[in-house]
Amino acid sequence: MDEDQAQGGLLTEIINLALENADGNPEYQIDFINDDGAHLNPLIVDHAYDISIGWSQPNCDIMDKLEDESQFRCNNLDFSAPLYEEVLGYYSLSSDPVFADHAELIGKSICRAEAFTLAPLEEVELVSPAVTIVRAPTAADCINYVVDGQADVALVAVDAADGRISELNAQATVQMHEALTFVDVLHAVIAKTHPRNAEIMDTVNSGLENIKASGLWFATVRRHMTEFRKANL
């Protein structure tokens, strides 16, 4: 998501198309609030906005393993049908051994972008003090942190990582550990306490269902991914 990108980026275009094609022809407005930390609290939980997009749902069945931020999501938010699924990869220097189990990362520093969920790490018990979490300004910057020695491992969406690795010409320097990959599902969220929760979520989900059934969702994702990869050759 980036208001300087065409259509505001992939997720923005998906939610726009979903609402354009939702049952009941809803009126809506999309705003960019360039402060990720403010989206869920206070903007969503206080109902200043109805929904926010691009959020991962923690595994709420393992609440005892989740950190405060993930527990907050479980306790306060409802999640739409998937907007998009992305593959997250664990990256480290090529001089490291190939990691086949998350337990092999215990004791290491792991980079994650600021405001990005730690739920994938919590699910495999890679939390403090077993590991040290390092925050970078963006996901792609975590690749720089690995190359520069500021972190041992980066947890980054594969497309973003591939783009930065290509940009740095670091294909021989950085490796992805295939056995550790994680599928991250991105959703729209609404406060559980929102007075129109069910109505709004039904509208969003109907639009997502309609654009997937028509093929519009797939065509949109394919176009964005093709353009992204061309720009990062």
Q: Tens digits of per-residue pLDDT, 154-183?
A: 999 998 999 999 999 999 999 999 999 999
Please report which confidence band the pLDDT of residue 38 belongs to, taking 50, 70 and 90 as the band edges.
Answer: confident
Q: Which tokens is 212 given?
A: 């997937």
CA distance 206 to 204: 6
pLDDT value at 6 more than 70: no
The burial class, CB within 10 Å (0-12 / 13-18 / 19+), for 109 is middle
Please report which confidence band the pLDDT of residue 34 belongs to, taking 50, 70 and 90 as the band edges.
Answer: confident
6-84+185-231 and 86-182 in the same fold = yes
pLDDT value at 233 more than 80: no
Architecture of domain 6-84+185-231: 3-Layer(aba) Sandwich (3.40)
CA distance 207 to 102: 37
pLDDT value at 227 more than 90: no
Q: What percent of the chain has pLDDT over 90?
A: 85
Domain ranges of the chain: 6-84+185-231, 86-182
Average pLDDT over residues 125-153: 97
pLDDT value at 18 more than 90: yes
pLDDT on residue 1: 67
What is the CATH code of the structural domain delimited by 86-182? 3.40.190.10
Contacts of 26 (CB under 8 A, 6+ apart): 19, 203
Q: Are 121 and 127 in contact (CB under 8 A)?
A: yes
pLDDT on residue 232: 66
Q: Which tokens is 11 given?
A: 């997720």
Instruction: Pick the range with the lowest mean pLDDT from 129-133, 159-163, 202-206, 229-233.
Output: 229-233
Q: What is the pTM of this model?
A: 0.88
pLDDT on residue 9: 85
CA distance 112 to 166: 19
pLDDT on residue 148: 97
